[in-house]
Structure 1
C-alpha cells in the first residue's frame, strides 16, 4: 500500500506540474492580451517615429500674388521681388529663404512663381511651375485679390475658393507627395484701409484700381460703405478658415494660425506709394511670421 501510494503521489506531482506549466503559457500567449507598460518596454524596443516636419528645408519655392512679388515695396506700381518676404535677397527684409538657407544658398535654391494680380484660381498653375524645381518647402500667400474685386458680388465664392486651393494642393501632391507647405493667412484688408486712408497720395493711387471693393470712396463712412467693407472683411475671414481647414488635412502643411491676418500693420509697414501693400519693413515682418511658423517645434 505504501509503495502504491508513493507512486500515486509521484504521478500526481507530475500532473500538477504539467497543468501549472500550461496555465503559465496561457498567461502570456494564446488568446491573452500582449504585455503592456513596463513589461512591453522590456521586450523589443519600438522604433522612434519619423518626424513629419523638417524645420530646416534646403530649398524654397513661393507662389501667390502681388504681396509675394514685393509690389510697391521699392517703387510705385512695380514688382520688387528682391524685397519679397518669401524669397527676397535684400538684407533689410531677411526673407524666409535667406533665414532658412543662408544668403548664398537662397540665391541658388529659392524660386518665386507668384504673380501680381493672381487669384487663388491661378495658384495651381504656379504650383505646376514650382514642382519642376522639386522644392522641399512651398510658401503660399494668396486670397487678397479674390476679395479685392470691382464689387463685393464679384468676389470669389467661398466654395470656389476652397476648390481652387484644393486643386493647387493636389497639383503639388501629385508631383511631390512629401514637399512641405507653409500657408499664410490673408491680411486684414479693412485694417489696411483704416491705416492708409489718412494719406492723400495713397488714396490717389487707390483710385487707379487697387482693391476697389474695400478702397473705393475711401473717406465714405455711411451705412452702404460700411456694409461693403464689412462684407469684404467677412469674406477674408471665411477664406482664412478654408486655408486652415484644407491645410489641416495635409500632414506636411502648416497654416500660420491667422498670424498675418492678425498682424497690426502700421504706416511704417505700408508702402509709401500706395499705403496698402507691405513696405520693405512690412515684408520683413511677414518673413518673421513665416520663419517662426516653419521652424516651430509644433504647428
Structure 2
C-alpha cells in the first residue's frame, strides 16, 4: 500500500477531529458516544427546554380578602363568591377559573379560600388550607386591609408585610414546589375614595367603619386629611413593591406589574352599596387583568 502523502495525512486528521468533535457534542447532550445526538436529546430532553410557566393550569385555588370573596357585589355587607374574579361561576364575570378551565370544570376544580377582612398575616394560613387541594395555580390578592386600618399609625409595617408574604410563599413551596402563583397588586384606594365620595349612600356605609384610614371624613379636604390619604396611598405603593420583589424571586410566580393598582375604576366598576369594593363589572375587569397575566407567553 502506498504511504499517504503529507497533505493526505493533514486532511485525514482534520476530518477525524471534526467527527470526534460532533460525537463529543452529542455525548454532552445526554447519550453515549455511539448514540445519535438527535435521538439522545429526544430520549432525555434538557430541563431548560421544558416551559417553566403553564398558561393553562388545570386547577385553581384563590387566597386573599373581601375582593376575592365578591363582598358587596351582590348585596349589602355580604360575600358573593359566585361573582369572584378568581373562582366565580357567574357568566357576567367570566372569572379566571371559567376562562382557564371552562364553566363545568371551574365548579369542580377551583376553590376560594379568601376571607373578608383578611390581612397579609392571614395569608400563610389560607395557603396552608389551599395546598391540601394541590392546585396547579394559586391566585393572591391581599394587602388592602393592611392599609385600611383605624389610623395610618395602625397600618401594617412594610417589613411585616414582606415577612408575612414570604412566609406564605414558603408554605406553598414546601408543599407544592411546582404550583404557579398569580399575584395581584393592591388597588389604588385613593382613587376608590375619589370616585365613591360622590355618592351619598356610599358615604353612609363608609361611616360603619369601612377603611377609615382612607375613607374617614370623606368630604374633608384640609391638609391633615390630604396628608392622611397620601400616607395610605404611599403605603399601598410600598406593599405593591414588596409583592413584585418577592414574586420576582420565584420563577413560577407572576405579578400583574401593578395593573390592578393602575386600573381606573369608575362608578360602574364599584359596588352600588358601598362604592368602594368592585361591582360585578369591576370583578369582570379584575378577571380580565388576571387572565392576561396568566396566559401571557413570556418567561
Q: TM-score range by the shorter chain?
A: 0.7 to 0.9
Where do residues 92-111 of structure 1 align in structure 2 (5 Å cutoff)? 92-111=92-111
Tell me: CA distance 1:16–1:263, structure 2 relative to 1, closer, same or farther (3 Å). closer
The higher radius of gyration belongs to 1
Question: Deviations along 1:211-241, whole A, 9 cap, x unmatched?
Answer: 1100000111111111100000000001111
Q: Counterparts in 2 of 1:2-13, with a 5 A limit?
A: none
User: 1:100–1:26: structure 2 CA closer, same or farther, 3 Å change rule?
Assistant: closer
> Counterpart of 1:44?
37
Q: 1:23 to 1:53 in 2, by over 3 A?
A: closer
- Paired residue secondary structure (1:68): coil
Please state if 1:61 is matched with 2:54. no
Q: Residue 50 of structure 1: CA displacement?
A: 0.1
1:1-299 alignment, distance < 5 Å: 44-45=37-38, 47=45, 49-298=49-298
On the 8 A contact 1:137/1:181 being kept in 2, the answer is yes
Q: Given the superposition, is the C-alpha separation of residues 34 and 133 from structure 1 closer, same or farther in structure 2, using an over 3 Å criterion? A: closer
21-30 or 47-56, which moves further after superposition? 21-30
Q: Deviations over 1:32-53 (max 9, x none)?
A: x979xxxxxxx83454600011
For residue 244 of structure 1, give the secondary structure of its aligned residue in structure 2.
Answer: helix
Question: Once the 2 structures are TM-superposed, how far is the Cα of residue 18 of structure 1 from its aligned partner?
Answer: 7.0
Q: Is the 8 A contact 1:201 1:273 kept in 2?
A: yes
2:33: which partner in 1? none
| In 1, Cα distance between equivalents of 2:138 and 2:18 | 53
- The unaligned stretches of length 5 or more in structure 2 are 27-35
1:28·1:34 contact (CA, 8 Å) conserved in 2?
A: no
Q: TM-score, normalised by structure 2?
A: 0.88
Q: Deviations over 1:71-90 (max 9, x none)?
A: 00000000111110000111
Query: Cα deviation per residue 1:54-100 (whole Å; 9 max; x = unaligned)?
Result: 11111000000000000000000001111100001111011110111
Q: Counterparts of 1:90 and 1:117 in 2: how far apart (Å)?
A: 23
Task: State how far apart, in whole Å, the 2-side matches of 1:34 and 1:109 are.
Answer: 45
Q: Aligned partners of 1:24, 1:93: CA distance in 2, in Å?
A: 66
Determine if contact 1:247/1:255 at 8 Å carries over to the other structure: yes
- 1:93, 1:76 → 2: CA distance? 19
TM-score, length-normalised on structure 1?
Answer: 0.88
> 1-side partners of 2:12 and 2:91: how far apart?
75
1:224-271 CA distances to partner (integer Å, 9 max, x unpaired)? 111100000000001111101111111110001111000000000000
Shift of 1:27: 8.1
CA distance in 2, matches of 1:274, 1:136: 34
**Counterpart Cα distance in 2 of 1:15 and 1:54:** 58
Task: State the distance in 1 between where 2:100 and 2:10 align.
Answer: 66
Moved over 6 A (4+): 13-30
Give secondary structure in 1 for the equivalent of 2:182: strand
Q: Which runs of 5+ in 1 are unaligned?
A: 1-9, 36-42
